[in-house]
Structure 1
Amino acid sequence: MGKIGLRSALVSCVALCVLGTSAPLTAQGQQAIAIRGGTMIDGLGGAPVPNSVVVIQGDRITAVGPAANVQIPNGAQIIDATGKWVLPGLFDAKANWNWQYGEAFLRYGVTSAIVSGGRNNQGSAERDAINHGVYAAPRLFQTLVTINGPGPDLDARQNYGPGGGSRRVYSAEDGVKHVNWVHDAGADIITFQNGDGPPEVFAAAVAEAQRLGMGIDFRAMGPQS
């Protein structure tokens, strides 16, 4: 198989899962870990690789491929993955989140998730607690507060109203202001809650989010979306 995109990839928040084991894995200290014998999916569209070896050293994957092509470092911890599937950690692009979900997500192979609902300070507290090792969970990318258009659909009962975890914008200037407010509050991504309102409102807000280097997520619910 040779060199593929996983080689030297950062193991972000334990970004390799062995399905069928109790939890994802990361090398502790300097001792290498070798996951041997599983069928490996590289995440790049390649064919499954039976009897594979994945070597993790520190927080990086340093070698991956068929067992015949990968040398396992002396003294490495060997994990027998025979009969299991080995693949990069999964990314949930639309997660509904509560702190007690963390271990369940990891057991199903999800190591990163976007939380696009407005969770305010609770969202940042959960994210920071995970990053500091307080409890086991995927790496979270938090919206904290959603940005809503001014259209009439926002007032429908099935949609989220203003206040709490959302901010309503009425103009391009409003959009830019609220994007900066959410950015300064510590959000990882910007979520627009609905599609109602003039396109220039969202265009200005999106441009500002891009300028700030933030991810952008739309939860389009209005009839004009």
Structure 2
Amino acid sequence: MGNMVNGAFVQFVQGGADTCHYAVTDRCRESAMLPNRILICLLSLVPGFCCAEDIPPVVQEHCVRCHGADGLATAPGMPHLNGQLAAYLSDALVKFQKGRQPTGVLNHVPASLGAAEIGQIAEYYAAVKAERPKQEVSPDKVALGAEIYRNRCLDCHDDNGREADKGAPLMAAQKLDYLVAQTRLFVSGRRKFGFLQDEAFKGLSNDELEAVAHYFAAQEQLAPKVQGKKKRR
């Protein structure tokens, strides 16, 4: 189902019996860069849209402009947050706030946000169900990345990045420009590896790291549905 809002097409995705979430298509990306309150007011005029009351105020104020109300990043170099593990998001937000993880966004997580508000942001985006858009990737890099993934990444990012263990994030269908940027931060030393990441990426070249990024970006966020075999009569 779709509707035109201020010249932008908005597609709605049902996220449960009492919850609806929206996915903003490419034609709406520019509108998503409007100030938060203006965008939310425009979209709330559309029948079926989850109105502002359904979005925590802390998310509206600090997150929507770059990550969207649906968790689909609207700014270059920013990650998608929809469906990410709440524990990972909370940990990352605290690291941003304390300056322990690099970010190019000034005052990315204000010091004024308390643990309860950070937890609210994490729980909100973890619960959002929206379909991440397909991305243009290099088939050759995806093939190389698949080989590296099987040998280096599988233990912490199982099921092609749709599952995670040992404090790792879900990686499937993450934004390619974000993944590539993070590998460069790792290589430059600005973003520190955890011990397990050090072991996983030790000896990999820049091209190999970028191939891993292409591999994860090429995956579907949710596992493809497998149709059951038809019973013989």
- Between 1 and 2, higher relative CO (CA 8 Å, sep ≥ 6) is seen in 2
Q: Provide TM-score, normalisation by structure 2.
A: 0.28
Q: Based on CA coordinates, which of the two structures has the bigger radius of gyration? A: 1
Name the one with the larger helix percent: 2
